[in-house]
Chain A
Amino acid sequence: MKFSYNWLRELVDGLDTAPAALEKLITMKTAECEGIEATGALLETACAARVESVEPIADSHNVKAVVDAGRYGRKTVVCGAPNCRPDVISAYVPVGKKVIHDVESDGMLASGAELGINRDHSGILELESQVGAPIAGCLPDHVIEIDNKSITHRPDLWGHEGMAREVAAILGRKLKNPVRTDLLPSGAASIAVEIKDLDLCPRYSALVFENVSIQPSPLWLQRRMITIGLNPINNIVDMTNYVMAELAQPMHAFDADLLKGGTIFVRRAHPGEHFRALNFEEYTLDPSNLVIADASGAIALAGVIGGLDTAIGGTTTRVVLESANFQASSIRKTSAVIKLRTDASMRFEKAQDPANTTRAIARAIELLQELSPGIRISGGVADRKRDVPPPPPIALPLAWLDRKLGRKVPAAEVREILDRLEFGVAEPAPGVLSVSVPSWRATKDISIKDDLVEEVGRMVGYDSVTPQPPLVAAAPPPRNLARAFQHEVRAVFVDQGFTEVYDYSFISEGAARRFGFDPANHVRVTNPIASDQELMRASLLPGIWHNILENAKHKDAFRLFEIGLEIHKRYDDGLPDEVPHLVAAIYDRQGRERLDGAVGLFEIKRAAECLMPHARVCPAAAAPYEHPARAADVMWRGERVGRMFELHPSLIESGRAALLDLDLRRVEVLSGSEVKYAPIRRFPSSAFDLSVIAGLREHASKLEDSIAQFAGPLVESIEFLRQYSGAPLAEGQKSVSFRVTLGSADRTLSSEEVSLIRARIIDGMRGMGYELRV
């Protein structure tokens, strides 16, 4: 929202605070200023000048003009405007001397656009002023731009009057009322208004004007429009925009002669009703949309945009001026559905003040008398409304206010602040104020005492509050074990050389398919930002896969991990299941010494064991993205907690990647067991080595399990020592060596006992068909 400093000055009595200082005050006490911009600097020195003579310049479309520039004297200027002709009165600006086409041009004749009055670049400004006079009503100005988000809750700040009220309150000055309600005509209205739904339209006021002439607005009004970022159109449209920018009340003008019947209806649209809008779009409406209608159908989409069929134009002579109030949420909904936000809808959706409709009409009457000479009012104001009692006053206990702010504000100061903001203040009981809210703050903004804390707080200034630590019970906060555990996991993996990445929660259907995931099993985004971000990830693997490919462009070897949420289409309590996972990857480019990829896999296994001591890896059928001969379940404390695998070669062009994917929710649960101390054994253990000859693809863990089973309860540990294949072993065979350690907590085992167990293992293994080297 753009505010004109000059406009604010017209409304605040004696405002002399410089624009930059004012901007700062507004930021600290009312709403955030995004910037301040000087406009129309040329107007400072511009004056009306008569063109006395014009002569062409050879080889140029420009002409050399001699002008009578009043106090600046007679000047020669070079001008390129087609309307630069003798006797025209234009605007001269002394911008200095410059040689153009060998002619010295001393100053310039300016167009409306150059001066910041309108958008007209087609020629120089044509005036009807006295030579030497400044351009009436057009002055340099400063535009203060307020962040719209910071006035979402303040319907009144969508007009200059509201901001002027703030400024007056901040500076302790008087606000001038720009509205003369005495201009409102009384008597019977010459148009009927019928509101079918008073919830959606609490008030509709209208007035008919006759003998209207549609013409360009005077320059001062055009300049105002430009200053606040609007285009000047014609006197009627500019007037409605002016009133809206001043009072925050949107208005609309219909050509009265184009209306069918003598009644304006405010009703819900019929299902499928068609409406042609001023923007040349055609909309199909439904009963959730509120329309303004005549006997033949919709003539405006209430609070959003007018209709094309009843629009004013060059031949319009009678105008119905609408000044209405609409329910905020209904306007917002309609504007969102048809994807059209207008200056009107933006204001209405903030909940405008119903008391403002006739004020706006009064302001319009005053302006139109100047803008459309000879205009006549026809009949009185048609005004239909729901009578809403004013909200009850708010009780504001002053001690409570002080406690909320954390500082004391004297009662007199509180009263003065509220008074300046035009709240009604009484003190029926000592220490408690009774505060009535002005109508323009009562629609949505202020309804409870907490809202008044802000009014007082911002005006006394929050920098007047001294920071203070609270007195609270020294209770330890509840622990977040899941989060603490995840931080522990991070520490383990960083120690093992892995670097943490953050990936998006979105994946594409393509990526899901690449991994053999069914897109239908993913939670889908209904309004994705791009087509490659339409699914919520149900696995972190596609993300880290992307990271591997990208980093492999720059690095030969690296380790990555991510801890993030998998989002699964299993609903519990209405929400999808979010499962924290860890994925870790070790990448190594092929062609280096670690050609076969085994090192990467065992390194990642070691990292997993750092997190989960004695975790086991059980080879299992591979998923489509896994190397079919290098994929396994990760088991810990009897439960499957994840997968370890090498990435399928089809997913990676060069090099190999070993991956680990763990369900951290399960791992956390399993890691929770407390340590229980076992006394150190006092009796020595006995150990012996065994080598089992097995098929090349037999799993060492299976051999170990069998040995353990035959060894029985006295086994302390079975340690893998080495494996060997090649001569003298037969093709397809390997020898796997283990060290078996036996022991007992209460005695030293005799050599007979040890031999017996050893023999039992050997016999057992042989019984299973294995040959043993002992």
Chain B
Amino acid sequence: MMLSTSMLDRSIQELESRSLARIASAKTREDLEAARVEALGRKGGLNQFSKEMGKLPPEERKRIGALLNAAKQNLEAAIEARERTFAEAALNVRLDAEWLDLTLPAPGPRRGHLHPITRIQRELEELFSSLGFAVLDGPEVETEYHNFDALNIPPDHPARDMQDTFWLESGNLLRTHTSPVQVRGMERFGPPLRMIAPGRVFRNESVDASHEHTFYQLEGMMIDRDVSVAHLIYFMKTLLAAIFKRDVTVRLRPGYFPFVEPGFELDIQCLICGGSGCPVCKQSGWVELLPCGLVHPNVLRMSNIDPEQWNGFAFGLGLTRLAMMRYGIDDIRQLQGGDLRFLEQF
């Protein structure tokens, strides 16, 4: 049978519009597949017209071919668009089904807490490291030499009474301050030296809300040429500003410690009342915070450092006291108590 080209034109158009309608009305993937087979299937649809084309004159064949291609592309685009709609709908269904109560707590343990002394200590370690100070450790069980003699506190020196000492059967003692680490630092590194030594110290005292036999100090020392009181004050102010995160007013007054000469007590203006007087500063406006001074030449000499060539400053900061001030802790026993209700606050 020889179809007229105009009939062929119409048939293609009819098939195209019928198929487009069917694609548009497909409700399921199966409907859409049936529509696709009808329009583009090997045996039906547009393919049946392709067979006819061979019989056409070349110029007609070219025109009909273009027509068929256009119809095919239209249908394919329509099918693809319809498929996308189905996929989107399916995705929406899945997404909706996956509703989750995000207010539920995350499983697994919560993050733990560092001890408040660790926190303060680390801050200070970082600060002093940035200022070029080494962070040194020394033993908790010390020799009498390092804890006393090398610090210019010979036997029978009344200053030994200032520090009630735990003695051990070996003749050693529990260090009463972190100062022996100064001596170990000088022995190990020699001058020049910048070091701090945070750590646990012991005094034989009964425990109550404000006294502990176990507490924490941070010793500091700098040895160089011509270290002066002006340098000491500079470091102390820098240290305190970093700790309290504000500028603090300090004062130095004479204080006696055998390993420094001159020796000072450094007070800070009370941060609670600003210096006008309150119970925390016992109405004085000042809080005693750290003993310090220029290193006694005997101490240098004992560690084989020539005091005519080198000198330095040293200070001892009460980490326990600092932590208590910083966090408003009113009972020192909490720090060694291991009570999570306390520790989890930090």
Do they bind each other? yes
Show the binding face of A for B, using Cβ within 8 Å: 27-32, 149-154, 328-329, 332-333, 349-350, 403-407, 448, 450-451, 453-454, 457-458, 462-463, 465-470, 472-480, 482-483, 487, 490, 493-505, 523-529, 536, 543-544, 546-547, 550-551, 554-555, 558-561, 565, 567, 571, 574-576, 578, 603
B residues 307-346 with Cβ under 8 Å of A? Answer: 311, 335-336, 338-341, 343-344
A505 and B231 within 8 A (CB): no
Residue in A152, A465, A527 whose beta carbon sits within 8 Å of that of B256 in the complex = A152
- Give CA–CA (A149, B256) in the complex, Å: 8
Evaluate contact between A465 and B230: CB separation under 8 angstroms.
yes
Give every chain B residue within 8 A of A465 (Cβ-Cβ): 228-230, 233, 252
Pairs across A and B, CB under 8 Å, 8 listed: A404-B229, A463-B252, A472-B192, A475-B132, A495-B112, A497-B111, A529-B206, A561-B112
Bound CA–CA A250/B118 (angstroms): 49
- A350–B158 contact, CB under 8 A? yes
- Contact in complex: B341, A497 (CB < 8 Å): no
Q: How far is the CB of B135 from chain A (nearest CB, A)?
A: 5
- Residues of chain B from 73 to 125 with CB closer than 8 A to chain A in the complex: 108-115, 117-118, 122, 125
User: How many angstroms from the CA of A529 to the CA of B200 in the assembled complex?
Assistant: 17
**Chain B 216-231 residues near chain A, CB threshold 8 A:** 222, 224, 226-231
B residues near A403, Cβ cutoff 8 Å = 226, 228
B contact residues around A501 at 8 Å (CB)? 115, 338, 343
Choose from B125, B222, B264 the contact partner of A470 (Cβ within 8 Å): B222
Contacts of B112 in A (CB 8 A): 493-500, 559, 561
The answer, among A31, A463, A536, for a CB contact under 8 Å with B168, is A536
Selected contact of A404 from candidates B263, B311, B338, CB within 8 Å? B311
B9 near A: Cβ within 8 Å?
A: no
Told that A468-B228, A480-B135, A543-B338 touch, could you supply 16 new A-B pairs with CB distance under 8 A? A328-B156, A332-B156, A350-B158, A403-B228, A407-B230, A465-B252, A470-B227, A472-B224, A480-B134, A487-B122, A502-B115, A505-B200, A526-B167, A536-B141, A571-B170, A575-B172
Which residue of chain B lies nearest to A475 when distances are taken between CB atoms in the complex?
Answer: B132
Please determine whether B169 and A524 come into contact, CB atoms closer than 8 angstroms.
Answer: yes
Are A500 and B113 interface neighbours, CB within 8 A? Answer: yes
B143 touches A (CB below 8 Å): yes
In the complex, which residues of chain B have a beta carbon less than 8 angstroms from the beta carbon of A523? 141, 168-170
Q: How far is the CB of A562 from chain B (nearest CB, A)?
A: 8
- Residues on the A chain within 8 Å of B254, using CB: 29-31, 150, 454, 458
Chain B residues in 8 Å Cβ range of A407: 229-230
Selected from A28, A448, A500, the residue in CB contact (under 8 A) with B343 is A500
The answer for the CA separation of A495 and B252 in the assembled complex, in Å, is 42
CB pair B230–A527 under 8 Å, yes or no, is no
B-side interface mostly: mixed
B141-A467 in contact (CB<8A): no
- Asked if B265 is at the interface of the complex by the 8 Å CB criterion, the answer is yes
Chain B residues contacting A150 (CB-CB under 8 Å) are 254-256
Query: Would you call B36 an interface residue if the criterion is a C-beta within 8 Å of the partner chain's C-beta atoms?
Result: no
- Tell me how far the C-beta of A444 lies from the nearest C-beta in chain B, rounded to whole angstroms: 9
Which residues of A sit under 8 angstroms from B129, Cβ to Cβ?
477
Q: Which 8 A-B pairs have the closest CB atoms?
A: A406-B230, A497-B109, A406-B228, A454-B262, A329-B156, A462-B252, A547-B338, A477-B134
CA distance A1 to B155 in the complex (A): 24
Closest to B134 in A: A477
Q: Does B297 contact A (CB under 8 A)?
A: yes
By beta carbon, the residue of chain A nearest B196 is A477
B162: chain A residues within 8 A (beta carbon): 149, 152
The distance in angstroms between the C-alpha atoms of A395 and B179, with both chains bound, is: 30
Q: How far is the CA of A547 from the CA of B337 in the complex (A)?
A: 8
Task: Determine whether the beta carbon of A151 is less than 8 Å from that of B256.
Answer: yes
Cβ distance B295 to chain A, nearest Cβ, rounded Å: 9
Complex CA gap A676/B306 in Å reads 46
Shortest CB-to-CB span from A244 to chain B, Å, is 18
CA–CA, A477 and B340, complex, Å: 36
- Find out whether the CB atom of B261 lies under 8 angstroms from the CB atom of A406: no
The answer to whether residues A565 and B214 also contact, given A453-B294, A468-B230, A501-B343 and a CB cut-off of 8 A, is no
Say whether B114 contacts A405, CB under 8 Å: no
Contact, CB under 8 Å: B137 / A559: no
B21 at the interface (CB under 8 A from A): no
Q: Assess whether B50 is interfacial by the CB under 8 Å rule.
A: no
Contacts A349-B158, A526-B167, A578-B140; is A502 near B117 (CB within 8 Å)?
yes
Which partner residue on chain B sits nearest A23 by CB separation?
B284
Question: Could you tell me if B141 and A450 are in contact, using CB atoms closer than 8 angstroms?
Answer: no
Minimal beta-carbon separation of B191 from chain A (angstroms): 11
Q: Is the CB of B343 within 8 A of A467?
A: no
Q: Which residue of A lies closest to B204 (CB)?
A: A529
Are B253 and A480 touching (Cβ within 8 A)? no
Residues of A within 8 A of B224 (CB): 470, 472
Q: Which residues of B contact A561 (CB under 8 A)?
A: 112
Q: Smallest CB–CB gap between A404 and chain B, Å?
A: 6
Note all chain A residues with C-beta closer than 8 A to B229: 404-407, 457, 462, 465
B49 at the interface (CB under 8 A from A): no
Residues of A within 8 A of B214 (CB): 504-505
Residues B139 and A578 in contact, CB atoms below 8 Å apart: yes
B251 surroundings in chain A (CB, below 8 A): 28, 462-463
Identity of the chain B residue whose Cβ is nearest the Cβ of A404 in the assembled complex: B228
A466 to B252, CA, bound (A): 12
Chain B residue contacts of A555, Cβ below 8 A: 340
Q: B159 at interface (Cβ–Cβ under 8 A)? A: yes
Known: A462-B251, A527-B166. A490 touches B141 (CB 8 A): no
**B253 close to A558 (CB less than 8 A):** no
Instruction: Please give, as numbers and ranges, the residues of chain B lying within 8 Å of A448 by CB-CB distance.
Output: 261, 297
In the complex, how many angstroms separate the beta carbon of A525 from the nearest chain B beta carbon? 5
Q: How far is the CA of A450 from the CA of B298 in the complex (A)?
A: 10
Most A CB atoms within 10 A — which of B113, B136, B166?
A: B166
Distance between A504 CB and nearest chain B CB, rounded to angstroms? 6
Contacts of A603 in B (CB 8 A): 109
Assembly CA distance A100 to B204 (angstroms): 52
B237, A467: Cβ atoms closer than 8 Å: yes
B213 interface residue, CB < 8 Å from A?
A: yes
Known: A500-B115, A550-B339. A454 touches B167 (CB 8 A): no
**A496–B261 CA distance with the chains assembled, in angstroms:** 48
Q: A467-B234, A559-B112 are in contact. Are A153 and B256 (CB under 8 A)?
A: yes
B340: contacting residue among A332, A536, A551, CB under 8 A:
A551
Knowing A448-B297, A472-B192, A478-B134, the reply to whether A554 touches B340 (Cβ < 8 A) is yes
Which residues does chain A contribute within 8 Å of B133, judged by CB atoms? 477
Residue from A405, A551, A554, A571 within 8 A of B230 (CB atoms):
A405
CB distance from A72 to the nearest CB of B (A): 36
Please, which residues of chain B bring their CB within 8 A of the CB of A544? 338
Q: Which residues of B contact A490 (CB under 8 A)?
A: 114, 118
List B residues 142-174 near A (Cβ within 8 Å): 142-143, 155-159, 162, 166-170, 172, 174
Pair B338/A546 contact, Cβ less than 8 Å: yes
Q: Determine how close the nearest CB of chain B comes to the CB of A573; give it in whole angstroms.
A: 9
Nearest chain B residue, comparing its CB with the CB of A487: B122
Q: How far is the CB of A406 from chain B (nearest CB, A)?
A: 3
In the complex, are the beta carbons of B234 and A450 less than 8 A apart? no
Docked pose: A458 CA to B256 CA in angstroms: 12
Residues in B neighbouring A477, C-beta threshold 8 A = 129, 132-135, 194-195
User: Are A502 and B230 in contact, with the CB atoms below 8 A?
Assistant: no
> How far, in angstroms, from A523 to B171 measured CA to CA in the complex?
11
The complex places the Cα of A109 from the Cα of B174 at a distance, in Å, of 58
Residues of B within 8 A of A32 (CB): 253, 255, 265
Knowing A473-B192, A558-B340, say if A483 contacts B137 (CB, 8 Å).
Answer: yes
CB contacts (< 8 Å) of A547 on chain B: these are: 338
- Measured in the bound complex, the distance between the Cα atoms of B294 and A355 in whole Å is 31
Chain A neighbourhood of B115, CB < 8 A: 500-502
A565 contacts across to B, CB distance below 8 A? 140
Among the listed A149, A527, A554, which residue makes an inter-chain contact with B204, where contact means beta carbons less than 8 Å apart?
Answer: A527
Complex contact B261–A453 (CB within 8 A): yes
For A559, the chain B residues whose CB sits under 8 A away are 109, 112
